[in-house]
């Protein structure tokens, strides 16, 4: 008994569990401070800077990086690319957890969780872009839950309910693509009301298009990134089909990402030309804009293309990291760095360490949940009793 207890204790106190446990404890303390002391106790937000890292990272970045769900399901179920089927459940799970954590993060920013449903039942502000975003996110989170549920139902042995929901796959996929198209673009539309606050190089009437296109890039790159990590850390959970198709998924999604990045580069240049902002490229903000455009759009586009041509899977997977960082940088530029650019440095926003701590806490929760689910449910393998139905 003592030997078994020692083994159990050793397996529990792994580096991951220790680090995650410390982050969770600190996060819970910061959560208590936030909801007892208000925003001022844990943030550097102000009337000039009402949206900080909780919106810039937890919401804008979180929604973009969770786009792998609708991108992958559309590829498989709408465009008939069945060779990527093994990536669907992991992508749906990542999307579901991503959107769920976005809603959780909004509780920190709003501060009154019970008021989140108010736009639907009390305030009829249906002409607001923010209302459309809230409605689409809420509906799409429901869609993602239903799309994810067959894996959980297979694990629970609830065959009839699982089969019923599986029959709705095509309908849910179409609904999910429509909702994603709406709210991904509407997140960009939120900034159309602030032409005097957002730097002209990032402000554009095409912001909704930019946000939607970058969500596709983020979705494709996140599937490659997530599948790489899953194979590294959860390879023992994968069946032969998932292991066999992982390289094909990287090549296919890398090729698609290269095309989309090329298109995005073109429309970004068109945006600068339409606004006649060429002269701003020589300023400090212009140089930073060029870093984003060439370093995190043109470069990953080129590297993806070379990786696919040479079938260099290592290059494709590292390029996915660059592309994901590029999406994060773009959202930070729009929401934080290039926002209120005309204010003196003393009045500019920089997140409090507690804001960063809460964001790290939320991301850690997502990693813990993902780890818990993939080690127990048929996400990275096909359940033997349902293998013929996929």
d(C-alpha 126, C-alpha 120), whole Å? 9
For residue 375, give every residue at least 6 positions away whose Cβ sits within 8 Å of its Cβ, in sequence order, or none: 234, 237
Q: Span 219-231, mean pLDDT?
A: 93
Average pLDDT over residues 313-341: 95
Which of 121-125, 139-143, 190-194, 302-306 shows the lowest mean pLDDT across its residues?
121-125
DSSP letter assigned to residue 377: S
SS3 for 40-72 is HHHCCCCCCCCCCHHHHHHHHHHHHHCCHHHHH
Q: How confident is the model at residue 374 (pLDDT cuts 50, 70, 90)?
A: very high
Task: Judge whether 187 lies within some domain.
Answer: yes
pLDDT of residue 387: 64
Per-residue pLDDT tens for 289-303?
999 999 999 999 999
Token match 């249906």: residue? 126
The pLDDT of residue 47 is 81
| pLDDT (mean) for 243-257 | 92
For residue 126, what pLDDT is reported?
A: 67
pTM: 0.91
Residue 80 lies in a domain: yes
pLDDT band at 131 (very low <50, low <70, confident <90, very high): confident
Query: Is it the case that residue 87 has pLDDT exceeding 70?
Result: yes
Output the pLDDT for position 50: 84
Tell me the average pLDDT across 3-14: 59
21, part of any domain:
no
Pick the more confident residue, 317 or 131: 317
Average pLDDT over residues 37-43: 91
98 falls within a domain: yes
Centroid of chain to Cα 380: 20
Residue 49 confidence class, pLDDT cut points 50, 70, 90: confident
* 345 within a domain of the structure (yes/no): yes
Instruction: Answer with the residue of higher pLDDT: 260 or 387.
Output: 260
Lowest mean pLDDT among 198-207, 230-239, 246-255: 230-239
Is position 10 within any domain?
no
The residue-averaged pLDDT of 137-152 equals 94
Whether residue 323 is contained in a domain is answered as yes
What total of structural domains would you count in the chain? 1
Residue 306 scores a pLDDT above 80: yes
pLDDT of the residue at 375: 92
Answer with the residue of higher pLDDT: 343 or 148.
148
**Which residues form the domain of 225?**
27-381
Interacting residues of 247 by C-beta distance below 8 A, sequence separation 6+: 313
| Cα 54 from chain centroid (whole Å) | 14
Say whether pLDDT at 207 is over 90. Answer: yes
Other CB atoms within 10 Å distance of the CB of residue 167:
8
> Is residue 125, in this structure, part of any structural domain at all?
yes
Amino acid 51: pLDDT: 86
List the structure tokens of 230: 């899953």
Stretch among 36-50, 87-101, 106-120 having the lowest mean pLDDT: 106-120
The string over 362-389, giving b where at least 16 C-beta atoms fall within 10 Å of a residue's C-beta and e elsewhere, is: bbbbbebebeebbeebbbbbbbeebeee
Q: Does 386 score more than 90 pLDDT?
A: no
CATH of the domain at 211: 1.20.1630.10
Residue 342 pLDDT: 87
Question: Which H or E run contains 36?
Answer: helix 15-37
Give me the mean pLDDT over the 173-188 stretch. Answer: 93
The pLDDT score that the predictor gives to residue 236 is 86
Instruction: Name residue 339's beta-bridge partners.
Output: 198
Q: How large a percentage of the chain has pLDDT more than 90?
A: 71
Higher pLDDT, 112 or 317: 317
């Amino acid at each position: 008994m003592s030997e078994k207890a020692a083994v159990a204790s050793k397996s529990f106190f792994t580096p991951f569990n220790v680090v995650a446990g410390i982050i969770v404890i600190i996060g819970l303390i910061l959560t208590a401070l936030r909801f007892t002391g208000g925003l001022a106790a844990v943030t550097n937000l102000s009337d000039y800077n009402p949206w900080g890292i909780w919106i810039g990272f937890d919401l804008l970045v979180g929604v973009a990086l969770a786009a792998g769900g609708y991108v992958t399901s559309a590829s498989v179920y709408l465009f008939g690319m069945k060779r990527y089927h093994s990536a669907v459940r992991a992508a749906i799970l990542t999307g579901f957890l991503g959107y769920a954590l976005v809603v959780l993060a909004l509780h920190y920013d709003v501060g009154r969780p019970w008021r989140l449903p108010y736009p639907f039942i009390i305030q009829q502000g249906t002409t607001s872009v923010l209302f459309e975003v809230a409605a689409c996110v809420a509906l799409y989170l429901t869609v993602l839950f239903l799309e994810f549920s067959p894996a959980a139902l297979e694990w629970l042995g609830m065959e009839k309910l699982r089969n019923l929901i599986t029959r709705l796959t095509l309908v849910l996929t179409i609904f999910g693509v429509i909702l994603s198209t709406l709210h991904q673009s509407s997140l960009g539309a939120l900034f159309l009301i602030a032409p005097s606050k957002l730097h002209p190089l990032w402000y554009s009437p095409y912001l909704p298009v930019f946000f939607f296109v970058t969500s596709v890039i983020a979705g494709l790159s996140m599937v490659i990134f997530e599948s790489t990590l899953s194979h590294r850390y959860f390879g023992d959970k994968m069946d032969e089909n998932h292991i066999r198709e992982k390289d094909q998924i990287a090549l296919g999604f890398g090729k698609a990402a290269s095309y989309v990045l090329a298109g995005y580069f073109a429309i970004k240049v068109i945006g600068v030309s339409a606004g006649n902002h060429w002269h701003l490229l020589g300023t400090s903000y212009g140089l930073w804009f060029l870093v984003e455009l060439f370093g995190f759009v043109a470069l990953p586009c080129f590297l993806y293309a070379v990786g696919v041509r040479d079938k260099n899977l290592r290059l494709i997977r590292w390029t996915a990291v660059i592309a994901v960082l590029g999406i994060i940088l773009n959202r930070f530029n729009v929401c934080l760095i290039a926002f209120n650019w005309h204010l003196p440095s003393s009045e500019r926003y920089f997140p409090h360490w507690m804001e960063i701590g809460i964001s790290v806490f939320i991301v850690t929760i997502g990693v813990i949940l993902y780890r818990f689910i993939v080690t127990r449910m048929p996400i990275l393998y096909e359940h033997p009793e349902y293998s013929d139905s996929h």
